[in-house]
Amino acid sequence: MRLRYLFAVLSLSVLVVGSALAQGVSPESAEKYNAGQDLFKKRRYQEALKVFEEAVGLDAKNAQAYRAMGKTYQKLRNYKDAVEAFKMATTVKADYAEAYFELGQIQYQTKDYQGAQASLKKALSIDQNIAEGKARDMLKAAYIREGITLLKRRNAKAAAAQFESAAQVDPSDATVFYNLGLAHKIARNSNAAREALETAVELDPAHGKAHRTLGDLFRATGKNSSAASAYLKAIKADAKDTSSRLKLAVVYQAMKQNTKAISVLKKAAQVDAKNASVHNALGQAYHDAKQFKSALAAYKKAIAIKSSPEYHYRSAESYNELKQFKNAIISAKKALSSSKFKVPANVILGDCYKDLGEKEKAIEYYKKGVGNRQYKKYCEDQIDRILNPMGGGDEG
């Protein structure tokens, strides 16, 4: 309260002196300021603060004393009062570039990124070379941080505007254009996203994340060849990029190039051996290629890392294809805990019990699939074939 009262009184004093602001500081105030500086250098911050307050009390035009108060409060980790002191310095001296810069520093430090942007822009408008380029770097960082904050709040459009501003500050920063592309992508502005990401990889051909995100854009629009090329560049930039390998495999499978998909996933399994998702994906690629033993081996590795209902369901599929029905039943039952795989697991159980000749159990599990639109016809047909073996439903 004491500080706010002091600033309120001094603000009124500043307004009263009007045109006198251009005049020099009184000798008494200047002397106090110098004494405060000596104390500040000796790290006697509380004493220094008191003397700086006396300096501005003697002369409301002493902008240097206000700035010194701000720096002292900063040392004392009293950032709120430091901000007020720096603001007073800029009120007294409108072209005080150093005070604007230091105000921007604290605002950035306290995550007031919009305030930092305003202060740093003002400092740069007064002196383009303030703090030897640090102000420009911090201004760019403030735009980026605010953009990231907005992305987390799911306001991608506003985030993109922040990254655009960062790009204007430094048009040579590939990461800024990557962030811009990502924001446009989330905002579903595909053309702008592609342009920003292409700029990012032009500036930095080894920017793996930008290549990968470009791949995502191409894949989403059905441009599988371009997507594959982008993912390959991402992997070249980062040999440990498991995500790009997984996505590349999906693209190859969409292009009916299953051999390439398997090759990519085998490499991913070598690079990231403890990633269950990789082994699961490899298992699915083998399964699609009707290499069921290899698929089963991959699923077992996935399960050894993480016991997931999905992995057990996939294993049940492969066991079923290999006519290892008892193992398929064990795996399928472990998948029943998942809402996503419960119905297909019941269908596999029905198939297995049917092939084992246990008709009543088969019907029991098929009935659990009848309520699902996707499996309704198949399950009804299988039940009909069991109950009417001489004149079952239509084939297929």
Distance CA 100, CA 109 (A): 14
Domains of the chain: 1-17+24-128 (1.25.40.10), 316-396 (1.25.40.10)
Per-residue pLDDT of 210-231, as tens digits, reads 999 999 999 998 999 999 999 9
Per-residue pLDDT of 105-137, as tens digits, reads 999 999 999 999 999 999 999 999 998 889 999
> What's the confidence (pLDDT) of residue 4?
54
For residue 238, with 0-12 CB atoms within 10 Å meaning exposed, 13-18 middle and 19 or more buried, which class applies?
middle
> What's the confidence (pLDDT) of residue 139?
97
Positions of the chain with pLDDT lower than 50, given as ranges: 1, 5, 8-9, 11-23, 392-396
* CA dist 47 → 39, 50, 79, 149 (Å): 7, 5, 18, 39
> What's the confidence (pLDDT) of residue 108?
97
Instruction: DSSP for 229-284, please give it.
Output: HHHHHHHHH-TT-HHHHHHHHHHHHHTT-HHHHHHHHHHHHHHTTT-HHHHHHHHH
Distance CA 83, CA 96 (A): 14
CB atoms within 10 A of CB 363: 17
pTM: 0.81
> What's the confidence (pLDDT) of residue 389?
84
| 3-state SS assignment for residue 4 | helix
> What's the confidence (pLDDT) of residue 392?
47
- Fill in the DSSP letter of residue 273: T
| 3-state SS assignment for residue 126 | helix
> What's the confidence (pLDDT) of residue 3?
55
Distance CA 326, CA 229 (A): 44
> What's the confidence (pLDDT) of residue 346?
97
